[in-house]
């Protein structure tokens, strides 16, 4: 009687092992496919984000390029007020959705510095001039960094 059950037990254990291996392989493939789908979706969203940034960030560069010192190493307070209005208008709408947190923080610093009144009637103090210069430089740097991630990602993907 034991001879009758031995082959059937071996066959059933073998079938059970093959089933477990197949089930494991199925879940492994399913997890891999889900990761690929997520990766492609993220790439698609990232591409859209960068397209929007490439469309809207140049306007910020045009505006901030207007911030320049006049003769004597100071800024024209009226020009800075106009630039401030343009920057505030630029940030409204879609920019709030696509700007990185670092660029947003840098924008707020620049905006706050530009909102300050000149220390001496129509001239800014040396400290104010330095703050305006550094805030403008930092904001542009952060915008470039937002776009630079795209180029770094492309370089990594190509390697």
If you write DSSP's letter for every residue of 97-132 in order, what string do you get?
HHS-HHHHHHHHHHHHHHHSPPSBTTB--HHHHHHH
For residue 56, what pLDDT is reported? Answer: 93
For residue 148, what pLDDT is reported? Answer: 80
- What does the pLDDT profile of the chain (159 residues) look like in tens digits? 556 668 888 888 999 999 999 999 999 999 999 999 888 888 888 889 889 999 999 999 999 999 988 877 788 888 999 999 999 999 998 999 999 999 999 999 999 999 998 888 778 888 999 999 999 999 999 999 988 865 555 556 656
For residue 25, what pLDDT is reported? Answer: 95
Q: Any bridge partners for residue 70, and if so which? A: 74
The sign of the torsion formed by the CA atoms of 17, 22, 23, 24 equals: positive
Q: pTM to 2 decimals?
A: 0.71
For residue 29, what pLDDT is reported? Answer: 94
For residue 41, what pLDDT is reported? Answer: 87
For residue 47, what pLDDT is reported? Answer: 86
- Check if the beta carbon of residue 143 is closer than 8 Å to that of residue 58: no
């Amino acid at each position: 009687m034991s001879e009758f059950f031995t082959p059937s037990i071996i066959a059933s254990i073998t079938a059970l092992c093959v089933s477990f291996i197949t089930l494991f392989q199925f879940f492994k493939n399913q997890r891999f496919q889900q990761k690929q789908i997520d990766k492609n979706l993220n790439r698609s969203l990232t591409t859209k984000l960068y397209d929007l940034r490439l469309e809207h960030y140049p306007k910020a560069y045009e505006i901030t390029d207007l911030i320049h010192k006049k003769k004597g190493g100071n800024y024209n307070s009226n020009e800075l007020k106009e630039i401030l209005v343009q920057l505030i208008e630029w940030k409204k709408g879609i920019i709030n959705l696509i700007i990185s947190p670092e660029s947003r923080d840098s924008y707020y610093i620049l905006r706050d510095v530009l909102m300050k009144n000149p220390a001496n009637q129509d001239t800014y103090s040396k400290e104010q001039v330095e703050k305006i210069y550094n805030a403008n430089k930092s904001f542009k740097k952060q915008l470039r960094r937002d776009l630079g991630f795209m180029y770094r990602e492309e370089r990594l993907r190509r390697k």
